[in-house]
């Protein structure tokens, strides 16, 4: 009986080894010679890839070979790259936008978060330690529960424009909705928001405008003709005061 038990244990061990060997082989094969077309997303623009031996002819980081973040004083306007067969927003260094969000609209729900501004040291850490290049800000709130008038955070916005400019980051500002996602509570307030801020920062090449945070709930199929009309109205308002700034819709 002991002999049979021992044989069974050995057989089981051999089977486990075979399975592990097969799995390792599959993992190795899956990484060989496969390119997703999104290699430029793999590495932040300020972090060097130690395994990159490709030279100037093939740049897996997606950067412009003769420019780095050290060559930039203020970030240039981002652009839309269609070379992959679909639209990708790229920075002035030909890299992807990578960032974090900051809420200045009062939080979710309204009044739950103070409006704290990062320090210059914290901004530098976002770039140097985390590889971020974008700060996405819910600047003010469009919600039934939010009584604040347009312009309540204008002074804070001025600070953020300066902080991000000095940190060589992009600033993406939008109208938040304090957790009332999937709706535009007031088009009048939203358009007034863009008449103010759209015009004020139109010449700041590192500033990006997002028309409204989560204006419709869920999938594209939930959008109505009225929703699309509102998008067009916001776009026309922003473009009327900021002819060159990138505008994000949807």
Instruction: Return the pLDDT at 43.
Output: 60
Cβ-Cβ contacts under 8 Å for 166 (sequence gap 6 or more): 120, 123
| Residue 52: predicted pLDDT | 56
> Does the pLDDT at position 176 exceed 90?
yes
The size of the chain, in residues, is 250
Query: Which residues have a Cβ under 8 Å from the Cβ of 174 and sit 6 or more positions away?
Result: 136, 137, 138, 139, 209, 210, 211, 212, 213, 248
pTM: 0.77
Please write the tens of the pLDDT for every residue from 103-150: 999 999 999 999 999 999 999 999 999 999 999 999 999 999 999 999
Kindly report, residue by residue over 187-227, the tens digit of the pLDDT: 999 999 999 999 999 999 999 999 999 999 988 899 999 99
Domain spans, the chain: 1-34, 97-248
User: Which fold, 97-248?
Assistant: TIM Barrel (3.20.20)
The pLDDT of 46-74, averaged and rounded, is 61
Distance CA 71, CA 57 (A): 20
Tokens 């600070």, located at residue: 159
State the average pLDDT for the chain. 84
Instruction: Tell me what percent of the residues of the chain surpass a pLDDT of 70.
Output: 74
Sign of CA dihedral 78, 211, 178, 161: positive
């Amino acid at each position: 009986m002991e002999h049979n038990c021992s044989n069974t244990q050995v057989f089981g061990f051999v089977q486990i080894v075979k399975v592990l060997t097969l799995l390792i082989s599959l993992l190795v094969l899956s990484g060989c010679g496969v390119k997703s077309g999104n290699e430029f997303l793999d590495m932040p623009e300020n972090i060097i890839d130690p395994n990159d031996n490709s030279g100037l002819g093939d740049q897996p980081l997606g950067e412009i070979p003769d420019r780095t973040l050290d060559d930039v004083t203020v970030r240039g306007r981002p652009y839309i790259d269609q070379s992959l067969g679909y639209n990708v927003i790229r920075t002035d260094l030909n890299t992807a936008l990578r960032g974090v969000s900051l809420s200045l609209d009062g939080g979710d729900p309204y009044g739950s978060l103070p409006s704290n501004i990062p320090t210059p040291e914290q901004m530098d850490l976002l770039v140097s330690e985390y590889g971020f290049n974008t700060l996405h800000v819910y600047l003010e709130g469009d919600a039934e529960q939010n009584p604040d008038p347009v312009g309540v955070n204008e002074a804070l916005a001025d600070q953020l424009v300066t902080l991000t400019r000095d940190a060589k980051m992009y600033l993406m500002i939008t109208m938040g909705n304090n957790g009332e996602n999937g709706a535009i509570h007031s088009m009048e307030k939203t358009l007034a928001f863009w008449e103010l801020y759209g015009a004020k920062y139109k010449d700041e090449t590192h500033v990006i405008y997002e028309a409204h945070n989560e204006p419709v709930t869920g999938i594209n199929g939930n959008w109505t003709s009225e929703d699309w009309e509102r998008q067009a109205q916001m776009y026309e308002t922003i473009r009327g005061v900021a002819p060159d700034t990138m505008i994000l819709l949807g």
